[in-house]
């Protein structure tokens, strides 16, 4: 059964492989990270861990029973009881409810572990799967936005203690 784990230093190699293996799949629905992301991955991974240590962001990986990475589900820019949700699920695990289950698990952690009261999210208009996950997990659309030059929607979910 897949589980969320807080991002650690030793997740680095598996996370890099996850991003490489799914790059084309992700780029079909979200803006590509660009070559620099992969070239400077180790430094970026260290920076993410520093942000997490500072309590600014909370990065999670979704791990299968064999320790393989199936996804990532993150809370960024945590401030004033709110944070922005972001997630990616591997192509090999898509369409099985993993994104929905992982987002729901992270909503629980957002309240119980991180003391948050609200989550926001954004997605491009052409990402129907992501919009469906947000709807199934209690987010509601609040307006338009732009993501890397593409039209999108903003979402919010109030969290109950």
What percentage of the chain reaches a pLDDT higher than 70?
99
Q: Can you list the domains of the chain with their CATH numbers?
A: 3-158 (3.40.630.30)
Which pLDDT does position 56 carry in this prediction?
95
- CB–CB of 69/17 below 8 Å? yes
- What DSSP string describes the chain? --EEEE--GGGHHHHHHHHHHTHHHHHTTS----HHHHHTHHHHHHHHHHHHHTTS-EEEEEE-TTS-EEEEEEEEEEETTEEEEEEEE-GGGTTSSHHHHHHHHHHHHHHHTT--SEEEEEEETT-HHHHHHHHHTT-EEEEEEEETTEEEEEEEEE---
Taking the C-alpha atoms of residue 76 and residue 69, their distance in angstroms, rounded to an integer, is 20
The residue-averaged pLDDT of 62-76 equals 94
Which pLDDT does position 87 carry in this prediction?
95
Which pLDDT does position 1 carry in this prediction?
86
Q: Which of 84, 63, 52 is nearest to 3 (CA)?
A: 63
The residue-averaged pLDDT of 115-131 equals 94
Report the predicted TM-score, pTM, of the whole model to 2 decimal places.
Answer: 0.93
| Higher pLDDT among residues 30 and 127, named by residue | 127
Confidence of residue 30 (pLDDT cuts 50, 70, 90): confident
């Amino acid at each position: 059964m897949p589980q969320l784990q807080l991002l650690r230093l030793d997740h680095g190699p598996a996370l890099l492989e996850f991003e490489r293996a799914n790059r084309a799949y992700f780029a079909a629905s979200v803006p590509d990270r660009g070559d620099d992301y992969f070239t400077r991955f180790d430094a970026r991974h260290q920076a993410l861990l520093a942000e997490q240590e500072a309590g600014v962001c909370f990065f999670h990986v979704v791990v299968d029973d064999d320790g393989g990475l199936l996804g990532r589900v993150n809370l960024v820019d945590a401030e004033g009881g709110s944070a922005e949700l972001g997630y990616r699920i591997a192509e090999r695990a898509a369409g099985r409810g993993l994104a929905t289950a992982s987002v729901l698990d992270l909503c629980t952690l957002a309240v119980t572990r991180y003391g948050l009261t609200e989550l926001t999210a954004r997605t491009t208009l052409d990402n129907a799967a992501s919009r469906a996950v947000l709807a199934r997990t209690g987010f509601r659309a609040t307006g338009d936005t732009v993501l890397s030059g593409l039209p999108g929607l903003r979402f919010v979910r109030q969290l109950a203690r």
